[in-house]
């Protein structure tokens, strides 16, 4: 038996209220209802993917040491030419013999890495992440969302949902396209794409159900992912699966996160599923992929690190102007401070355990009895301890309106980690007014700045939010 | 192992100090020439008479050549010194020790900083290539954490803490207003200072040191030679430098209400100078008031106030020009301005003037004629990670 053994998702904290778009852009915002998620100014597809991947391993209580491959897919890679998955590999502190690969550019690359992970061998971690932009006032801006979702795939009794069939159809036609580097997709007349996707989706679905040996009325959860809304709706209607068994696409809270949507909706469906159910994922992108999964008894006792539902219900309002600024659509007055210098490649490489793995040092000065935890490790420390998953308490803090930041003011705190170690650290996903001495924080992997085209990735702290801590236990 | 000091073995025989401020019309070379020329004239010596030079600049120039070129030195040893905001004080320390060692008869320490050519407000550190994980928060933000920590530890109502901080700024502006070399020569009331908007934690711009260009210089000789140059030499009583190891930043026991590097340097300096009751013995202190809460904490670390009481002493006027122990009678970093490499020597320049009675009556310290010792204190870095240098000089 081979299938999904765990999952992790990351929904960024900022939310754009669609009703605020029209007043500025003059049009757009779709119907104006609901919100979409927005990657914060210090997030990109790599950092969101890292958070989702951390969640997948934490939900499983897994250190990742048995993984045999790591896969990363996005339409918005932070880098071209070099692999982005290697950063996730470093954040997860994986052994160097575990390979990490990207598949970037197309929405369909998400299903490619899922399929590669499924085909094995061994245990694999498949991470999908996307940011969706669109031009101001356009439909993609309102309909899009930013998210990451990671799937753990493996064999044996840990399998929560066995993959029983996977059928794929492929066809060359032009519906949506984007020149690399362009901020927004362009679209052919949508009736053409609707016609193609409706036919291709129906075909893939039929093949997969046939392979699995089940009829449409035996499908307990049908997920239809894809950026063509009309095609998705028409396939849902024509599928033969009743409306109450069709997984909500999170349009009113998250929006459509492109390459992250298939795994995100699969995670949401599995969080709502019971053991022994048929879950079908149909992804429409340059053809169609239909995957039939059957949940196992093990699902009953699995708790994801943070469910899609609780993350979707959280979040904080983001002003439309600030969203436009973060996306590079609205130049604003820059901070009147020198820009940060670029990261040194050899220094970052030497200190990768600290910079990416957030490993503390211990036992400095050759003193084996010393239990002091050093953040960062000192040159004389002889052991390394992972601290990324530890919580910490705010000892004191300050709000800096002078420091260079893409989103001032900088909120900065001195924090003490449970289990030892003190760190002066920048806070994120936070309103300066809500910080208090004694507050609890968790670490999150972020992009601090970019200089010379080099992204400076490191960790920040963010408040531990009660609404995210308490997982709903009912199914 | 011991810190013996070189009490009374070396003396300052002449000093110079430019006005500190926005010198749009002067480069680093002009500032150097101005301060050095004053010092040579003050001591009645020439650049050839000086055997060796120590040139302190944090980030305005590199190497001894940056001093040798503008002064036109021929075949002289020049060392460039950098030690954060203790740069100027450390240049003097090294010149003094060189003379004390017998290696040279006469040495000059000169500090200069050209800050205002940078194009940005505030001080901006020289970027060293790194892994990108260093803190990027400003010094103001780091020091802003001292005020609430201090207030919490000693039960000081936050409003009283803010008033005490404003009182530090008001005092230093009062002193600077009377000093023709100071960057800011305007007085500010406590009420007006309390109403300023915060820029970092609870600090307003007026809780921060002035950022200025400037230079200052001192010439030193063996004490037994000093009277060949001046009737009133300033004897070096103690020099103590501590470079912290940064452990405070990662130490869960560090509480941001004290600077241990300062306390250690002060204890050592008092021992070198034979001082047992600094508050009763010192005529004045020039301290590193980079931010107003810093000066409050320094009063305790330097032994001028009991722990938890400095804020009250500030409010009571203990450290005013006419108080029990005048602190920063020249206006301090706050009002005199802070060209990093020059500041330590600027502090010494004020001790040079005050202890020798060379200031006009309107800005003379209350202790003049009654006490003969002055302390200067420089620190560089942040709470938890700093260098600190305490110097003590005297006219008797």
pLDDT in tens, A18-36: 999 999 999 988 888 999 9
- Tell me whether residues B129 and A347 touch, CB distance under 8 A: yes
Phi-psi region of A255 (alpha: psi -120 to 50; beta: other; left: phi over 0): left
DSSP 3-state assignment of A181?
Answer: coil
- Best probe of the B interface among A400, A405, A460, by most B CBs < 10 A, is A400
Output the CATH code of domain A345-468.
Answer: 2.40.50.840
Contact call for A422 and B252, based on CB within 8 A: yes
**Is A341 within 8 Å of B252 when comparing Cβ atoms?**
no
Residue that the structure tokens 């908007």 belong to: B197
Q: Are A10 and A51 in contact (CB under 8 A)?
A: yes
Which one of the listed residues B173, B174, B338, B377 is annotated catalytic? B338
A182 or B296, greater pLDDT: B296
Out of B133, B137, B251, the one facing A376 most closely (by C-beta) is B133
Q: Which residues of chain B have a CB within 8 Å of the CB of A343?
A: 130-132
Residue A291 clears pLDDT 50, i.e. is over it? yes
- Check residue A342 and give its pLDDT: 92
Tokens 């992790």 locate to A8
pLDDT in tens, A432-460: 999 999 999 999 999 999 999 999 999 99
CA distance B132 to chain A (A): 5
In chain A, the residue whose alpha carbon lies closest to the alpha carbon of B125 is A338
pTM: 0.94
Residue B224: CB atoms within 10 Å: 10
Rounded-to-integer distance, Cα A182 and Cα B179, Å: 60
Sign of the alpha-carbon torsion through A326, A331, A333, A336: positive
Average pLDDT, chain A: 94
Handedness of CA B35, B40, B42, B43 (dihedral sign): positive
Question: Of B299, B277, B265, nearest to B391 (Cα)?
Answer: B265
pLDDT for position A292: 98
Q: How many CB atoms lie within 10 A of CB B99?
A: 26
Q: How far apart are CA B101 and CA B391, in angstroms?
A: 18
Whole-number pLDDT of residue A365: 59
Residues from chain B contacting residue A375 (CB–CB below 8 Å): 250
For CA atoms A271, A272, A275, A279, give the dihedral sign.
negative
pLDDT value at position B128? 86
Supply the pLDDT for residue A366. Answer: 57
Q: What percent of chain A has pLDDT over 70?
A: 97
- Give the one of A343, A403, A424 whose C-beta lies nearest to B132's C-beta: A343
Q: Which CATH number fits domain A2-326: 3.40.50.1100, 3.30.70.890, 3.30.450.20, 3.40.47.10?
A: 3.40.47.10
Q: Could you tell me the residue ranges of all domains in chain A?
A: 2-326, 345-468
pLDDT at B390: 98
Taking the C-alpha atoms of residue A18 and residue B179, their distance in angstroms, rounded to an integer, is 60
Per the listing, tokens 């060189």 go with B98
Residue of A315, A259, A251 whose CA lies nearest to A40: A315
Chain B within 8 Å of A376 (Cβ-Cβ)?
yes
Q: Does the pLDDT at position A136 exceed 80?
A: yes
Chain A residue numbers with beta carbons less than 8 Å from the beta carbon of B158 are none
A344, A399, A422 ranked by CB distance to B130: nearest: A344
How far is A409 from chain B, CA to nearest CA, in Å?
9
> What is the per-residue pLDDT for A473?
44
> Which residue in A409, A414, A460 has the most chain B C-beta atoms within 10 A of its own C-beta, making it the best mutation to test that interface?
A414
| CB within 8 Å of chain B, chain A residues 266-325 | none
Q: So what's the pLDDT on residue A338?
A: 81
pLDDT for B276-329, tens place per residue?
A: 999 999 999 999 999 999 999 999 999 999 999 999 999 999 999 999 999 999
Q: How confident is the model at residue A475 (pLDDT cuts 50, 70, 90)?
A: very low
The Cα–Cα gap between A256 and A228 comes to 10
The answer, for A191 touching chain B at a CB cutoff of 8 Å, is: no
Q: Is B366 exposed, middle or buried (0-12, 13-18, 19+ CB in 10 A)?
A: middle
Is B255 in a helix, a strand, or coil?
coil
* Closest CA of chain A from B118, distance in Å: 9
B-facing residues of A in 447-466 (CB < 8 A) are 448-449, 456-458
Distances (CA, A) of A117 to A9, A15, A67, A151: 17, 32, 10, 9
**Is residue B184 a contact partner of residue B206, using CB atoms and an 8 Å limit?**
no
Contact call for A397 and B136, based on CB within 8 A: no
Phi-psi map region of B117: left, alpha, beta (phi>0 left; psi -120 to 50 alpha): alpha
CB proximity list for A422: less than 8 A, separation 6 or greater = A375, A395, A414, A415, A416, B249, B250, B251, B252, B254
With CB atoms and an 8 Å threshold, state whether A399 touches B200. Answer: yes
**Which two tokens mark B259?**
């600077």
Residue B29: the pLDDT is 98
Q: What is the secondary structure of B57-108 as a DSSP string? A: -SSS--TTHHHHHHHT--S--EEEE-BTBTHHHHHHHHHHHHHHTTS-SEEE
The CA distance from B391 to B396, in Å, is: 16
Task: State the pairing for strand pair B234-243/B198-200.
Answer: unpaired
Q: How far apart are CA B201 and CA B147, in angstroms?
A: 9
Interior/surface letters A412-421, b for 16+ CB within 10 angstroms, e for the rest: bbbbbbeebb
Q: What is the pLDDT at residue A367?
A: 59
Intervals of chain B under pLDDT 50: none
Which residues of chain B have a CB within 8 Å of the CB of A341? 127, 129
- For residue A368, pLDDT over 60 is answered with no
Residue A340 has pLDDT above 90, yes or no: no
B85 catalytic? Reply is yes
Q: Which residues of B touch A (CB under 8 A)?
A: 120-122, 124, 127, 129-133, 135-138, 140-142, 144-145, 148-149, 198-201, 249-252, 254, 256, 384
Q: Could you identify the residue written with the tokens 């071209």? A: A80
Total count of residues recorded for chain A? 475
B192 contact partners, CB below 8 Å, separation of at least 6:
none
> Between B137, B249, B254, which is nearest A403 by CB?
B137
Give the pLDDT confidence of A404-416 residue by residue, as tens digits.
888 889 999 999 9
**pLDDT tens-digit series, residues A148-177:** 999 999 999 999 999 999 999 999 999 999
- Asked if the Cβ–Cβ distance from A374 to B250 is below 8 Å, we say yes
Q: Flag whether pLDDT at A471 surpasses 60.
A: no
**Does the pLDDT at position A266 exceed 50?**
yes
Using CB atoms, which residue from A338, A350, A424 is nearest to B124? Answer: A338
Q: How far is CA B11 from CA A83, A150, B6, B229, B234, in A?
A: 64, 71, 11, 11, 5
Mean pLDDT throughout A388-415?
93
pLDDT of amino acid A113: 98
CA distance B134 to chain A (A): 10
Residue B4 designated active-site? no
Average pLDDT over residues A302-320: 96
Complex ipTM = 0.90
Q: Does A374 reach chain B within 8 Å, measured CB to CB?
A: yes
């Amino acid at each position: 038996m081979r299938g999904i053994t765990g999952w992790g998702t990351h929904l960024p904290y900022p939310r754009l209220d669609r009703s605020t778009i029209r007043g500025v852009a003059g049009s757009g915002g779709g119907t104006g209802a609901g919100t979409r998620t927005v990657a914060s100014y210090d997030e990109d597809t790599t950092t969101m993917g890292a958070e989702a991947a951390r969640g997948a391993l934490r939900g499983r209580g897994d250190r990742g040491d048995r993984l045999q491959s790591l896969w990363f897919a996005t339409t918005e890679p932070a880098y071209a030419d070099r692999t982005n998955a290697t950063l996730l590999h470093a954040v997860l502190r994986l052994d160097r013999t575990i390979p990490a690969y990207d598949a970037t550019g197309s929405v369909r690359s998400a299903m490619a890495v899922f399929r590669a992970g499924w085909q094995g061998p061994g245990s694999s971690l498949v991470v999908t992440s996307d940011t969706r932009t669109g031009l101001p006032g356009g439909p993609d801006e309102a309909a899009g969302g930013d998210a990451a979702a990671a799937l753990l795939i493996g064999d044996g009794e840990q399998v929560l949902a066995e993959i029983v069939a996977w059928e794929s159809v492929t066809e060359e036609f032009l519906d949506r396209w984007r020149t690399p580097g362009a901020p927004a997709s362009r679209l052919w007349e949508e009736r053409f794409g609707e016609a193609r996707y409706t036919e291709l989706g129906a075909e893939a679905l039929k093949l997969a159900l046939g392979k699995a040996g089940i009829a449409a009325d035996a499908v307990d959860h049908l997920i239809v992912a894809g950026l063509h809304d009309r095609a998705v709706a028409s396939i849902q209607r024509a599928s033969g699966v009743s409306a109450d068994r069709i997984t909500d696409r999170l349009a009113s809270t998250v929006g459509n996160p492109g390459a992250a949507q298939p795994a995100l909706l699969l995670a949401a469906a599995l969080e709502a599923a019971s053991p022994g159910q048929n879950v079908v994922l149909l992804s429409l992108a340059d053809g169609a992929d239909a995957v039939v999964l059957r949940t196992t008894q093990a699902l009953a006792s699995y708790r994801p690190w943070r469910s899609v539902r609780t993350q979707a219900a959280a979040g904080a309002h983001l002003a439309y102007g600030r969203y436009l600024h973060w996306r590079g659509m609205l130049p604003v007055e820059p901070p009147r401070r020198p820009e940060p210098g670029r990261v040194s490649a050899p220094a970052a490489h030497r200190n990768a355990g600290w910079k990416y793995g957030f490993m503390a040092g211990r036992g400095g000065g050759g003193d084996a009895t010393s239990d002091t935890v050093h953040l960062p490790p000192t040159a004389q420390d002889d052991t390394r301890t992972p601290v990324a998953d530890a919580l910490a308490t705010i000892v004191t803090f300050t709000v800096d309106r002078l420091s260079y930041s893409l989103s001032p003011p900088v909120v900065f705190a001195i924090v003490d980690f449970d289990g030892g170690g003190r760190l002066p650290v920048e806070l994120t996903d936070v309103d300066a007014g809500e910080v208090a001495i004694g507050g609890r924080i968790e670490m999150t992997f972020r992009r601090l700045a970019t200089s010379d085209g080099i992204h400076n990735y490191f960790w920040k702290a963010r408040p531990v939010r009660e609404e995210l801590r308490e997982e709903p236990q009912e199914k | 192992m011991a810190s013996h000091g070189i009490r009374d073995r070396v003396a300052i025989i002449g000093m110079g100090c430019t006005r500190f401020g926005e010198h749009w019309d002067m480069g680093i070379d002009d500032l150097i020439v101005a301060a050095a020329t004053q010092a040579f004239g003050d001591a009645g010596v020439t650049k050839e008479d000086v055997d060796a030079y120590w040139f302190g600049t944090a980030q305005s120039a590199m190497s001894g050549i940056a001093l040798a070129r503008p002064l036109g030195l021929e075949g002289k040893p020049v060392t460039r010194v950098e030690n954060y905001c203790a740069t100027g004080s450390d240049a003097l320390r090294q010149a003094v020790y060189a003379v004390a060692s017998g290696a040279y008869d006469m040495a000059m320490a000169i500090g200069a900083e050209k800050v205002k050519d940078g194009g940005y407000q505030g001080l901006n550190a020289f970027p060293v290539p790194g892994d990108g994980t260093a803190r990027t928060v400003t010094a103001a933000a780091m020091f802003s954490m001292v005020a609430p920590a201090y207030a919490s530890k000693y039960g000081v109502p936050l409003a009283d803490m803010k008033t005490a901080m404003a009182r530090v700024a008001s005092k230093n502006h009062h002193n600077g207003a009377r000093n023709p070399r100071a960057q800011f020569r305007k007085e500010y009331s406590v009420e007006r200072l309390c109403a300023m908007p915060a820029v970092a934690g609870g600090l307003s711009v007026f809780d921060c040191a002035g950022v200025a260009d400037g230079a200052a210089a001192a010439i030193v000789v063996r004490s037994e030679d000093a009277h060949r140059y001046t009737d009133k030499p300033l004897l070096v009583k103690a020099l103590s430098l501590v470079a912290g190891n940064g452990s405070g930043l990662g130490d869960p026991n560090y509480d941001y209400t004290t600077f241990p590097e300062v306390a250690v340097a002060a204890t050592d300096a008092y021992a070198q100078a034979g001082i047992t009751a600094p508050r009763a013995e010192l005529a004045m202190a020039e301290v590193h008031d980079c931010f107003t809460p810093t000066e409050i904490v320094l009063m305790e670390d330097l032994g001028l106030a009991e722990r938890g009481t400095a804020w009250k002493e500030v409010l009571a006027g203990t450290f005013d020009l006419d108080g029990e122990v005048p602190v920063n009678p020249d206006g301090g970093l706050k009002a005199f301005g802070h060209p990093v490499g020059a500041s330590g020597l600027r502090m010494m320049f004020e001790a040079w003037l005050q202890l020798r009675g060379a200031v006009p009556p309107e800005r003379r310290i209350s202790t003049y004629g009654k006490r003969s010792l002055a302390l200067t204190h420089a620190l560089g870095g942040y709470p938890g990670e700093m260098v600190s240098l305490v110097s003590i000089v005297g006219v008797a």
